[in-house]
Structure 1
Amino acid sequence: MSIELRHFRCFLAIAETLSITRAAERLHLTQPAVSRTLRQLEQELGIRLVDRSTHHLALTPDGRAFRDRARIAVSAFDRALATAHLTEWPLRLGHAWSAAGTDTTALLRRWREEHPETPLELLRIDDRTAGLARGDVDAALLRGEVRAPGLITEQLATEPRVAGLPADDPLAGRTALALSELTDRTIALNTVSGITTLDLWPAGARPASSITIGNTDDWIAAITGGRAVGVTTSATAEMHPHPAMAYVPLTDAPPVPVVIAWRDGPGHPRIPDLIALARDVIGKATGSERARAR
């Protein structure tokens, strides 16, 4: 037996629903057919993908690792079919928030001038790697340390951190703040795509209260609504001005690296051109540093 795309789709349905029954409903198959397809895939790979020893299905460590590779393979196949009738092959650039800051427009316009034959699509995806790890985009502009396996990153610049406050907050009129001045506040933390955690504060001096947010829009809403304050980078202030929000520089918070990331392996043929342009537009004043994410 050889592995076919249907094996990948079946496994992904199981991985996403953690249920043979729900996977069968999604795929419009019978439960025995789904179980049989999963068993064939495991036998062909020689590894166990799903733990069936409890009342609830769970992916094994091998299953979690294979899930990411299967997503990339299925995404590439679907995209190949979707673009088969097109003479142009769009290059998808993901970002989790704020793209390239104030350099975003220059990056997009320069690309269109220099590579008119290849559309550059900028996509915001609320995910730590902006969809890159699962194959939704070809490259991504990310902030902070990126540890997803199979990705290569190159640092383009750094951005200073700022505090996000309601515009009528007593601290909003300050020219600068220290992290310690936020410890008695509730902190809004974007745990899906953000980089700020309570570890930013010294041990023993961390805020006692926080709320969990899923994206930049909700982060801004929580702050402007008076529920919390937050920490972000200067790019957010540049890309998301709001009449009810104040952004105040933080004097003792480390800057945040801005990186461009791509998958280690075959990809869109224009990725090297995108990296070169990003270096020129975003990183011309800071240089670059290349590192493999482990």
Structure 2
Amino acid sequence: MATDLHQLRAFVAVVDEGTFTDAAITLQLSQAAVSRAVAGFESSIGARLLHRGPREATLTTAGSRVLVHARRVLDEVARLEESLSRPAGEFRIGYHFAVLGAHTVAVQRDWSARHPGNPLVFVQSTSASAGLHEGLVEAAVLRRVPSVRRIATELIGTENRYAAIAATDPLARRRRLTLRDLEDRIIAVDPLVGTTSGDLFAGRPVEVRTTHNIDEWMTAIAAGQAIGMTPESTVHQYRRPGMVYRRVVDVEPVSVWLAWQRDAPPDRIDDLLAMMRKAYAS
């Protein structure tokens, strides 16, 4: 499959703007150029991605699936481009849904006090390594350890697991839950970076709904279409009307790791590791 970035940008622009004409205006291209780019993308994918109507273009079923991944690729490219122009002296830490939860601000303040002029910047990423493999960050906070030898990891702490449920769900009336309470429910899971899998349910079959980012995950839960399982850091960092969190008491906590390139450890990584461990121990 031979796909280039201008094809992805054209496809996403048509979806966002609703028409090829408006997409062309946004991209500052001719309408014919946008049409050729989208057609080329469809040809390389081997599927029709858009229904072309007289007034608007709408997604096909295949287009809806492809759109999520196209946005993810463009987001990562934008982060890569941004990394090349970032200010000198920044210590950039990648993360997925949540950084350190309630400890995030405290660690940033401690770092600033010890290392003025060398700010600690947290960068959200949708890649499995939270931007580490891509060179977008110097280190990353992970809750799943990658099976890659060139990445070094150190445990910084653990977090309790919480169920995320619709506020109208009968379980929302309770303060604490068990795994048995969640049986026979649809579980919203991000397979790339999430911390939930069927293994949590001791081999019992569970129905999974795949999500691709935190907003999609919360929207499905608030609508009552699924429930979620998540580390405590998410509870502190993300709230949504119509959704509540409840502690799950009979499941192992989630381990939180600091990761970096083994062959090129960042300056002061030991200092950062000590700060994060202190925050989790407090």
TM-score by length of 2: 0.68
State the shift of 1:202 in Å.
1.4
Cα deviation digits, residues 111-150 of structure 1 (max 9, x gap) = 1111112121111112232111222111011113332331
Deviations 1:19-78 (Å, cap 9, x if unpaired)?
A: 3xx46989xxxxxxxxxxxxxxxxxxxxxxxxxxxxx9xxxxxxxxxxxxxxxxxx7x99
Q: What letter matches 2:196 in structure 1?
A: T
Residues 164 and 246, structure 2, Cα contact 8 Å, conserved in 1: yes
Q: Is 1:91 aligned to 2:91, yes or no? A: yes
Determine helix, strand or coil for the equivalent of 2:177: coil
What is the deviation of 1:192?
A: 2.4
Q: Could you tell me whether the CA contact under 8 Å between 2:161 and 2:229 is conserved in 1?
A: yes
* Contact 1:188/1:210 (<8 A) preserved: yes
Q: Go from structure 1 to structure 2 and tell me whether the alpha carbon gap of 1:139 and 1:127 turns closer, same or farther (over 3 Å shift).
A: same
Q: Name the counterpart of 2:205.
A: 206
Task: State the alpha-carbon separation in 2 of the partners of residues 176 and 145 from structure 1.
Answer: 28
Q: Given residue 220 of structure 1, which amino acid in structure 2 is its aligned partner?
A: M
Higher helix share: 2
Q: How does 1:266-285 map to 2 (within 5 A)?
A: 266-282=264-280, 284-285=281-282
Please list, as runs of the form range in 1=range in 2, the aligned pairs for 1:200-279 lying within 5 A after superposition.
Answer: 200-203=200-203, 205-207=204-206, 209-279=207-277
2:219 maps to a residue whose letter is A
When residues 175 and 116 of structure 1 are mapped into structure 2, their CA distance, relative to the original with a 3 A threshold, is same
Per-residue CA deviation, residues 216-256 of structure 1 (Å, 9 max, x unaligned), is 12111110011101111111112113331111111221111
Q: Is the 8 A contact 1:156 1:278 kept in 2?
A: yes
Gaps of 5+ in 1: 1-17, 27-55, 57-74, 286-294
1:87-236 equivalences in 2 (<5 Å): 88-203=88-203, 205-207=204-206, 209-236=207-234
Normalising by the residue count of structure 1, what TM-score does the alignment of the two structures yield?
Answer: 0.66
**Do the aligned partners of residues 109 and 186 (structure 1) sit closer, same or farther apart at CA in structure 2, a change above 3 Å counting?**
same
User: Matched residues in 2 for 1:109 and 1:128: separation?
Assistant: 27
**Unmatched 5+ stretches in structure 2:** 8-43, 45-79
Q: Percent identity?
A: 33
Question: What's the secondary structure of 2:116's corresponding residue?
Answer: coil
Distance between the aligned counterparts of 2:5 and 2:170, measured in 1?
56
The answer to whether the 8 A contact 1:145-1:257 is kept is no
- Give the 3 Å change call, closer, same or farther, for CA 158–78 of structure 1 in structure 2: closer
Aligned partner of 1:248: which letter? R
Aligned residues: 212
